[in-house]
Homo-oligomer: A and B are copies of this chain.
Amino acid sequence: MKLTFLGSGNVATHLSRALHAAGHDIVQIFSRTDTHASQLATIIGAEPITSVADIDTSADCYIYCLRDEVLQDFIRLMPPLPNAVHLHTAGSMPLDIFAGCQEHYGVLYPMQTFSKDAIVDFCHLPIFVEAHDQLALEWAMTMARQLSDNVHSVNSEQRERLHVAAVFACNFTNHMYAQCQRILAEAGLPFEVMLPLIDVTAQKVHKLPPTQAQTGPAARHDTKIIAKHINMLSDKTQKQIYELISNSIIEGQKK
């Protein structure tokens, strides 16, 4: 089928390449920046465009991979294309952002942390699908299942909660690694010594629920070590994080 991508960032790059590899014809890549549109378009044999006026209106599906801040305005700029399916890929944006603008619309949310250079394996990637109507649901489901064996149908509220949960599991987790990196650097130790522990911590929750996998001074209610650690940290924000999360671990065990 003929697909057009609106956007050329991390999500557009990985998703368009994967759908191209799955046999779809990517007709156009839109980006405000000429070089971005051209770079991606070249890889997948599409036409790069930088103006909404140049959009080919004959595609079967338009996939919007744009930053949350510009998504709504961009949808309003698009011509009504009532025969096509329109899908956005954002975790946090509602489904009805398309309401009044298009006929058939939905969401295809691949839940992953994308960076341009890292190869993304879509095979088992959780993809969350939501749709306003039957045609959009069919399209979104078909494409999601061509990419992954881990496809879920959700509503907007569930998708929003998924997004906030993902912030904890990915972004906040990575920030814990960053704090660890800073503390080690202050002690003249390389971050790499922590990688086996980081890996086992992630592997452990494949077998045990995280509430049961919890270890450490707070899980043991070891207030002496907690006080000593807080005292040892040089950064005020690190002290606050240590205290708040330790208290939260202790609180969580009472539930």
Residues of chain A at interface, number, CB under 8 A: 91
Instruction: Please determine whether B68 and A178 come into contact, CB atoms closer than 8 angstroms.
Output: no
Instruction: Check A205/B171 contact, CB under 8 A, given A158-B187, A166-B197, A247-B237.
Output: no
Q: Judge whether A143 is part of the interface by a CB distance below 8 angstroms.
A: no
Which residue of B is nearest A92, CB measured? Answer: B225
Which residue of B is nearest A237, CB measured? Answer: B248
Q: Which of A110-139 contact B (CB under 8 A)?
A: 111-115, 118, 124-126
Instruction: Please determine whether A188 and B68 come into contact, CB atoms closer than 8 angstroms.
Output: no
Kindly supply a per-residue 1/0 record for chain A positions 169-204, scoring 1 wherever the CB is within 8 Å of any chain B CB and 0 otherwise.
Answer: 111111111111101101111010111111111101
Instruction: Please determine whether A167 and B206 come into contact, CB atoms closer than 8 angstroms.
Output: no
Query: How many copies, total?
Result: 2
Kindly supply a per-residue 1/0 record for chain A positions 152-174, scoring 1 wherever the CB is within 8 Å of any chain B CB and 0 otherwise.
Answer: 10100110111111111111111
Q: In the complex, identify which listed stretch (A12-20, A80-88, A216-224) lies at the interface while the others stay far away.
A: A216-224
Interface of A is mostly: helix
Instruction: Please determine whether B164 and A233 come into contact, CB atoms closer than 8 angstroms.
Output: yes
| Nearest CB of B to A252, in Å | 6
| Nearest CB of B to A254, in Å | 12
Q: In the complex, identify which listed stretch (A33-41, A53-61, A95-103, A238-246) lies at the interface while the others stay far away.
A: A238-246
Docked pose: A202 CA to B150 CA in angstroms: 20
| Nearest CB of B to A44, in Å | 23
Docked pose: A244 CA to B240 CA in angstroms: 8
Instruction: Please determine whether A194 and B213 come into contact, CB atoms closer than 8 angstroms.
Output: no
| A162-B187, A174-B213, A198-B205 given; 8 more Cβ-contact pairs under 8 Å | A69-B222, A92-B229, A161-B187, A161-B189, A164-B183, A169-B180, A173-B173, A198-B202
3 shortest interchain CB distances as A-B pairs: A171-B216, A177-B210, A161-B187
Q: Could you list 13 A-B pairs, sorted by A, with CB under 8 Å?
A: A69-B222, A112-B196, A113-B204, A115-B213, A125-B196, A164-B229, A168-B183, A169-B177, A174-B204, A175-B210, A175-B245, A175-B248, A195-B205
